Amino acid sequence: MAEVFLMAEDLHRSFDEYKAVNGVSFTIHKGEIFGLLGPNGAGKTTTIRILSTVLNPDHGDVTIGGYSIRDNAGAVRSLIAVCPQELALYADLSALDNMVFFGRMVGLGGKEAVAQAMKNLELMGLAERAKGRVDKFSGGMKRRVNLAIALMGTPELLFLDEPTVGIDPQSRNRIYETIESLRDKGMTILYTTHYMEEADRLCDRVAIMDGGQIIAMGTPQQLKSQIGPPEQVTLEDVFLRLTGRTLRD
Amino acid sequence: MARALLVTIRETRAYLRDRGELAFSLLLPIAIFALMYGAFGGESMFHGTAYVVNEDVDGAYSTRLIERLDELDNLDVNLLSWPEASAKLRRSDVLLVVCIPEDFSARLISGWPTQLVFRQRGNGGDEGQIVASLVRGVAEEISQEIQIERQVQRALVGKGIGQEKIQTTVQKLLDREREFPIVGVSEETIGTGVDPVHQFLPGIVTMFVLFSITLNARAIVEERRKGTLERLLTTRLRVGELFTGKFLASVSRGLLQTLILLTLAYIVFQIFTPVSFIQAITIVLFFAAAGSALGLVIASVVRSEDAANWIAVFFTMSMVMVSGTFFPIPEDSILYTVSKLSINTHANVALKTVIAEGGSLGDVGLELTILAGVGVVGLILSRILFRVVPGGSR
């Protein structure tokens, strides 16, 4: 069994009376792709914000690479990167300039940042558009730049928050391939998505959240086998069985 | 600190690339400057028109009066008929008409006094009052000439000199006196007068700098919405560095804007010396720091871009209106006390002191201290209130 790289213990976070995260605990092993699934409002984004040191938990703690987010957030941030659900890019900059800017922010030197940016753009199939302004890019290209930025500085733990929302199959496939290659290189990934087949394909283990709590956790195979023969059941069946069919806004 | 500077450079580049924002922050004040220059930049000597109804057609003295008025450099004479003059007065096209009565010359020749009549709307307006004063001066001059003629004639009665010769000789002497008066008046111009540019320039510069800086609050809210702020804070960038970078970017933007506007003013209006120019830039540095800190307070408390826009506009206009930018504020009024709450007031006073009054930075120490104080308090307050995400811990 690989070493535990992330350990979240009894996390709680409320906004006024609303309990967004209510007693969440899980671990992620080094080199693992861990899926965090759940309907809208389940508490996934708040959990990621806590894990990525943007929000402090009201209670509980997270240890990443041996560092506590409460006691040593700076050290934690040197190990992680976040690819947010929003296209968190500067529209007035080129893809390369965006990447170099964020590369400098994670501690790379100027030349190092340019070299790594070009390598990551190559990986995303965007090397030829490196100097194009991102506001002229298609949705799929922006998504790929969004992910490429997160790879600057080669983080040990990558948070991917719905990285394939609203893009064409080609771009999505490129992102899948990139994520798989990152896993092969030993990167640890926390992945959230609403596409269950995506989680089934990519994730070693998944946790399903609802109402601020984890209601199920295991490998996709284990979760599917809880409700029927794994080869006849999809992860979406499991998800709907556990979270219900009521619409969430 | 290097990361903070990188944030500053990125923000400044974004500002320079945004054509809409550049147009607002640079071209609009330049356009206002151009309008001011057109309105106030040329000759500021009075030049008006005397509208005259002459009922004493071909009269010797009415003709002399009109010729004398026409000889004045700063006055044109426009002869009107009664109906034309009445219509213009009714429509307020003109506010004062000089009427020469039908018997004007006849009465003067007969030795009787006579009167010019000023027909006017209200007080005749500023131009009308000056024209009336010039006409009075010419009328008095003619009146004195007539008296001199009469006295000379009286003195020479019985000396065998013809009346016509007396008149011609006296007129020649009077003409020479007008040309080479015993008591003359000369003009010595020392620098420029009380220039409207001096009055309005500081206010316009500070108004646009404050607008630009406080509207920057919108950009921060937009960054928060797009997720770039949150993303930045998952890197090694510390909140303090982010905050410093944003603050320095805002100050740089205000300074850049000021540098361009004041350089333009330097070239066009020629109202600076190199020293006063540097002093003015220094004052705006303090002002930009205070404004940037207040802009960050706005960014810290608002949740939407619209709210940021409206608060920035309201805040800037309030500061501008109570600072006496467009109208003087009497020292004994309540507004004068209120005006001390506006950072624009202190910046305008400081700028006027160094630009128009030849003062130094030492003379505006109080104003600079107040601006620096506002900057420090604003920074502390905004840092306390600032959150990368609503409800966040940083």
Residue (of A36, A33, A48, A61) closest to A179 by Cα position: A33
- Whether B14 sits inside 8 A of A90 (CB atoms) is yes
Tell me how far apart the alpha carbons of residues B96 and B133 are, in angstroms, rounded to a whole number: 12
Interface test with B, best of A104, A146, A157 (most B CBs within 10 A): A104
Residue (of B254, B261, B309, B260) closest to B284 by Cα position: B254
Residue (of A247, A219, A220) closest to A236 by Cα position: A220
Has residue A60 got a pLDDT over 90?
yes
Determine the residue type at B343.
I
β-bridge partners, A18: A15
Going by their DSSP bridges, the two strands A213-218 and A205-210 should be labelled as antiparallel
Has residue A249 got a pLDDT over 70?
no
Does B189 lie at the interface with A, CB-CB under 8 angstroms?
A: no
Angle, CA B64 vertex, CA B58 and CA B66 arms, to 5°? 85
- Please give the structure tokens belonging to residue A247: 């619409």
Please name the member of A54, A78, A153 whose beta carbon is closest to the beta carbon of B230.
A54
β-bridge partners, B302: none
B154: CB partners within 8 A, 6+ apart: none
Has residue A229 got a pLDDT over 60?
yes
Residue (of B92, B315, B89, B94) closest to B213 by Cα position: B315
Interface test with A, best of B12, B232, B234 (most A CBs within 10 A): B234
The helix/strand/coil state of A61 is: strand
Identify the band that residue B95 occupies on the pLDDT scale cut at 50, 70 and 90.
very high
What does the pLDDT look like over B312-356, one tens digit per residue?
A: 888 888 888 888 777 778 888 888 888 888 888 999 889 888 887
pLDDT value at residue A230: 73
Residue (of A219, A210, A199, A214) closest to A9 by Cα position: A214
Has residue A98 got a pLDDT over 90?
yes
Identify the band that residue A163 occupies on the pLDDT scale cut at 50, 70 and 90.
confident
Please name the member of B6, B233, B237 whose beta carbon is closest to the beta carbon of A54.
B233
Determine the residue type at B168.
T
Tell me how far apart the alpha carbons of residues B389 and A67 are, in angstroms, rounded to a whole number: 23
Are the C-beta atoms of residues B285 and B207 closer than 8 Å to each other?
no
- pLDDT above 90 covers a percentage of chain B that reads 22
Identify the band that residue B194 occupies on the pLDDT scale cut at 50, 70 and 90.
low
- pLDDT above 70 covers a percentage of chain A that reads 98
- Whether B232 sits inside 8 A of A105 (CB atoms) is yes
A-chain CB neighbours of B17 within 8 Å are 92
Has residue B196 got a pLDDT over 70?
no
Q: Among A30-34, A136-140, A166-170, which is the least confidently predicted range? A: A166-170
Query: Cα distance from B238 to chain A (closest Cα, Å)?
Result: 8
Identify the band that residue B42 occupies on the pLDDT scale cut at 50, 70 and 90.
low
- Whether A55 sits inside 8 A of B393 (CB atoms) is yes
Does B226 lie at the interface with A, CB-CB under 8 angstroms?
A: yes
pLDDT value at residue B132: 92
- Whether B18 sits inside 8 A of A81 (CB atoms) is no
Does B227 lie at the interface with A, CB-CB under 8 angstroms?
A: yes
pLDDT value at residue B80: 93
Pick A91 or B192 by higher pLDDT: A91
DSSP string, B10-33: HHHHHHHH-HHHHIIIIIHHHHHH
β-bridge partners, B54: B100
pLDDT value at residue B369: 94
Query: Cα distance from A226 to chain B (closest Cα, Å)?
Result: 37
Identify the band that residue B43 occupies on the pLDDT scale cut at 50, 70 and 90.
low
Largest Cα span, chain B: 115
Has residue B208 got a pLDDT over 90?
no
Query: Cα distance from A103 to chain B (closest Cα, Å)?
Result: 9
- Whether A105 sits inside 8 A of B226 (CB atoms) is no
Walk me through the domains of chain B, giving residue ranges and CATH numbers: 2-41+195-385 (no CATH), 48-179 (3.40.190)
User: What phi, psi does B236 have (nearest 5°)?
Assistant: -80, 0
- Please give the structure tokens belonging to residue B312: 């920035």
Identify the band that residue A89 occupies on the pLDDT scale cut at 50, 70 and 90.
very high
